Amino acid sequence: MATTFPPVISPQGTLEPIFTGVHLVWGSVQMAPLVRITRNMVVVAHDGELTLIGAVRLAPDEEKRLEALGEVKHLVKLGTHGMDDPYYRDRYGAKLWALPKARLPEGVVPDEVLAVDHLPIPDAQLFVFEHTKAPEGALILDRDGGVLLTCDSVQHWTTTAGCSPMAKVAARFMGFMKPAQIGPPWRKAMTPEGGSLRPDFERLVEAPFTHLVGAHGGVLRDDAKARLAETLTRVYGA
């Protein structure tokens, strides 16, 4: 029986270089009826290999552009995103890397387990949240002054272009439209009862980065650390 995968979801952007050996392309995901939001895939090149963070299935022409960048070898799952990981595993034989005890579809087993000393990208560091209800991580690339790559934990929405009209309203109503914002629904879902994620973010803001790329939103350049520090004060108080 042929394996079926989620189709390409429109609208979709084009691969754009954003840092040294790093490309970004945005796709779409249907969250609910009338609610379609954008999501990002980061492509990191190293020694002719490509690592995809937050994999998004691309339209055929864009997929050819991806292949021109290098060989798709690795998929990194930092949080809940992963609907298109099976497609890339099947098409390219890419290895799936995930955190210990990561939430995966039934029957899916990661090829490699992410650890601070075991990563697919040589010049990357792994950050692991210690207080979240489910496994969540981030990567810091040692390129261009440090690039923080996150899933839903930190997002930098500057525009709702590409979202459905209902999603545009929801993004503003739910408080996403702030620099280096801790995703409000993510924070609610991930915070243990009576607990706080503040210690995790206090550790994160000390990590060596100056730029931010989340799984949603745009690229925050140069002052991402300062903006995240402001978010901590806004969300958790001084």
Tokens for 48, please give them: 């002719």
* Residue 206 CB partners (closer than 8 Å, separation 6+): none
Question: pLDDT tens-digit profile of 199-222?
Answer: 999 999 999 999 999 999 999 999
**In this structure, which topology does domain 16-236 adopt according to CATH?**
Metallo-beta-lactamase; Chain A (3.60.15)
Q: What is the dihedral of CA 71, 141, 27, 33, to 10 degrees?
A: 130
Structure tokens, 133? 């209800």
Residues 61-86 have pLDDT tens digits of: 999 999 999 999 999 999 999 999 99
**Residue at token pair 């209800």:** 133
Indicate if the pLDDT at residue 1 is higher than 70: no
Interatomic CA distance for residues 81 and 151, integer angstroms: 7
Higher-confidence position of 2 and 182: 182
Quick one: what percent of the chain has pLDDT higher than 70? 99
DSSP-derived secondary structure letter, 7: P
Residue ranges per domain, the chain?
16-236
Q: What is the mean pLDDT of residues 151-158?
A: 95
> How many C-beta atoms surround the C-beta of residue 5 within 10 A?
15
By C-alpha distance, which of 208, 210, 148 is closest to 182?
148
Q: What is the DSSP letter of 115?
A: B
